[in-house]
Chain A
Amino acid sequence: MTALLETEALTVHFATSDGPVEAVDGADLTVRTGEVFGLVGESGSGKSVTAMAIMRLIQPPGRIVKGSIRFAGIDLATLSEKAMRDVRGSRIALVPQSPRTSLNPVMSVGKQISRVISVHGGLGWRASGARAIELLAMVGVPDPAHRAKQYAHQLSGGTCQRVMIAMALATSPQLLIADEPTTGLDVSIASRIIELLRDLGKRTGAAIILITHDLGTVAQSCDRFAVMHAGQIVESGDTRCLFRAPAHPYTHALLRSIPRVDADVVLQPIAGSVPALLHPPAGCRYQRRCELAMPVCCEKPRRTSVSVSHDVACFAAEKKYAAAS
């Protein structure tokens, strides 16, 4: 499978009066065509900012300081704003975090879908209206023709999210970014939404970046995933590989903090909290919480391959694997 999206050294800073908040620090990500790629981390770890940076939707005082975003052969980081607008919504689409508030309250949902179609697809309003109803049917909204005329406040949270997914799929994008798409939804509805996303991804051939803090969701639905901590990607790779043999101490700690029914394991919370991103420690940002911290951790760890589809950025892990091989 070929790489659809590759970010390199992607760095995002938010200017404050006390200095820059380094929200994303040199993120390297590779998303392949048609896969479901998970982006995992605690809240505030920079997952959403990374996604917004990929769509070039970072608002001032935030700014992409450096890095490249190669998407299907073009570098989005240097694209003009006008060209970028043609990419947004048509080739890369977003399924946002809070579906209900992400719908315009004074416009019917059908209209909101159809105008995305007419902007990007150049269809007339009648044709795009019909297409909107088809899309609603495709994402499993019952009685789509009736629902299309309704407003966000008349729909359930789950239906709102289905509407957002329909809107995202309206122009057959190659990449779908789902930013914690199940926040605020019931557990049963949440898992159905994730299932729907995965299914639609397979059917339309779109790759999906699934941003979540829920490792269970990752295990269920992602082909590969990356772990973020305090703005840095600490580990990425094949889902099965990572779950079986996490290389980074943070990933390790995350997996230990998952409650399990099948095994009698004592839950271990992760020591400390995510460090401040205003003046973060130099080098690895996990060093102060890490059991394996060494003096060298004050330098920035490089990304190293652990196996064919498994990268880690950690000196301790590097040493361990170097010794093993």
Chain B
Amino acid sequence: MSFVYFVLNRIALVIPTLLGVTLISFMLTNLLPGNPAVVKAGALATPEYLATVERQMGLDQPLYVQYARFVSGLLHGDLGESASTGRPVLEDFLQRLPATLELTLASLLIACLLGIPLGILSAVHRDKFVDHVGRVIGVVGVAMPSFWTGLLLIFVMFYALEIAPAPLGRLAPNIAAPTAITGMYVVDSALTGNWTALKSASAQLFLPSLTLAFSIMAPLARMVRASMLEILQSDYIKAAWAAGLPSRTIIYGDALRNAMIPIITTLGTVFGFLMAGNAVVESVFAWPGIGNYALAALMTKDSGPIQSFVLFVAISYVFVNLAVDLAYGLADPRIRIG
């Protein structure tokens, strides 16, 4: 199997999944009990006006026509409009996306910095103290709902110890947002040398990203440990010990290099956890990202943002996994050089 074939094959496999994803999220919206036309036209609208609005929104068409329109709209970057604000959902979304991205990336970074070494140490010192600590963190971490972790952190760090700022958004209220480059405040303020904004943005980001990181650290460490253990038992590691190589070379050179392949795959799965956890953490910390936006919309039965959120998460999950598959192919010579 040549590498080009491998890449094309993976890309082709994504298409049916994407179709399924759009179909499911379309179905979800049409299951919604509220009539979006009522929300848009207002509760006091006459039946005639309501019918006009329904016609304008295409709600009188058969479902498959609505689905076809929905998909062709997607291809043109049209996510519909929010029934309550009347603004295109895509616009609202793009405005809030950097906040979500900032939170996601920060927590992924923290989780990797803590989880991967923990997994490695647990595997190398199997059944020793580190491994027991790792196992306890893993077992408890999986059982802890992230909203509770977040609340606990707020209580301890903000209320009791007063080291963290108030859990309300991305910046302290008296500080202006840095010049927009990426939209991620920490990055932008660092790039523009806006140190006051950087300090405030980092402080605000710390607790939510720690909360989110904690929710994925446990599964990450667990998977790293499992793949390291499997590799440490393999014949080529035994051969490396027999060749008298130093243990550092064996663990970090041989074992970790091979473990990177399953670890990369794991990161794809972990990304799914992150996207789901995002909404929860954003709501706990009043973080103005897309998850929070979608939840606010859910409360008013506004279908546009929900549909877009679910769809956006699923599509980005599909593409992240595609990227992971391709990275996997690059990291593994058995695939790279077939």
- Which positions in A face B, CB cutoff 8 Å? 55, 57, 85-90, 93-94, 96-98, 101-107, 115-116, 119-120, 151, 153-154, 164, 167-168
Report chain A residues within 8 Å CB of B241. 57, 88
Task: List B240-266 residues whose CB lies under 8 Å from chain A.
Answer: 240-246, 249, 254, 257-258, 261
Contacts A106-B257, A107-B257, A153-B333; A96 near B244 (Cβ below 8 A):
no
* The residue from A115, A151, A167 contacting B337, defined by CB atoms under 8 A apart: A151
Asked if A119 and B258 sit within 8 Å, CB to CB, the answer is no
Report chain A residues within 8 Å CB of B337. 151, 154
Closest CB of chain B to A107's CB: distance in Å? 7
Closest CB of chain A to B145's CB: distance in Å? 37
Asked whether any CB of chain A lies closer than 8 Å to the CB of B331, the reply is yes
Asked if A107 and B238 sit within 8 Å, CB to CB, the answer is no
Mark interface residues in B254-288 (1 if CB within 8 Å of A CB, else 0): 10011001000000000000000000000000000
Asked if B234 and A115 sit within 8 Å, CB to CB, the answer is no
Asked if B242 and A55 sit within 8 Å, CB to CB, the answer is yes
Asked whether any CB of chain A lies closer than 8 Å to the CB of B48, the reply is no
Report chain A residues within 8 Å CB of B242. 55, 57, 88-89, 93-94, 96
Asked whether any CB of chain A lies closer than 8 Å to the CB of B334, the reply is yes
Task: Kindly state the separation between the CA atoms of A50 and B157 in the bound complex, as whole angstroms.
Answer: 58
State the total of A-B contacts with C-beta under 8 angstroms: 76
> Can you list 22 pairs linking A and B with CB atoms under 8 Å apart?
A57-B241, A57-B242, A85-B244, A88-B241, A89-B243, A93-B242, A94-B239, A94-B243, A96-B238, A96-B239, A101-B236, A102-B235, A104-B236, A104-B240, A104-B257, A104-B258, A105-B332, A105-B333, A106-B258, A116-B245, A151-B333, A167-B243
* The residue from B236, B246, B332, B334 contacting A102, defined by CB atoms under 8 A apart: B236
Asked if B245 and A151 sit within 8 Å, CB to CB, the answer is no
Closest CB of chain A to B175's CB: distance in Å? 48
Q: Give chain B's interface secondary structure class.
A: helix
Report chain B residues within 8 Å CB of A86. 244
Report chain B residues within 8 Å CB of A168. 243
Closest 9 CB pairs of A and B: A89-B244, A88-B244, A89-B243, A94-B242, A101-B235, A102-B239, A102-B235, A151-B333, A104-B236
Q: Which of B235, B258, B334 has the most CB of A within 10 A?
A: B235
Mark interface residues in B317-338 (1 if CB within 8 Å of A CB, else 0): 0000000000000011110010
Asked if B244 and A87 sit within 8 Å, CB to CB, the answer is yes
Contacts A89-B244, A119-B244, A120-B244; A151 near B334 (Cβ below 8 A):
yes
Contacts A105-B333, A107-B257, A154-B337; A93 near B243 (Cβ below 8 A):
yes
Report chain A residues within 8 Å CB of B334. 105, 151, 153
Residue of B nearest to A164 (CB): B239
Closest CB of chain B to A112's CB: distance in Å? 9
Task: Kindly state the separation between the CA atoms of A104 and B257 in the bound complex, as whole angstroms.
Answer: 10
Report chain A residues within 8 Å CB of B234. 101
Task: Kindly state the separation between the CA atoms of A115 and B334 in the bound complex, as whole angstroms.
Answer: 21
Q: Which of B240, B242, B246, B332 has the most CB of A within 10 A?
A: B242
A-B contact sample (19 more), CB < 8 A, given A120-B244, A167-B243: A85-B244, A87-B244, A88-B241, A88-B242, A88-B244, A89-B244, A89-B245, A90-B244, A94-B239, A94-B243, A96-B242, A98-B235, A101-B234, A101-B236, A105-B332, A115-B249, A116-B243, A151-B333, A151-B334
Q: Which of B243, B258, B333 has the most CB of A within 10 A?
A: B243
Closest CB of chain B to A160's CB: distance in Å? 11
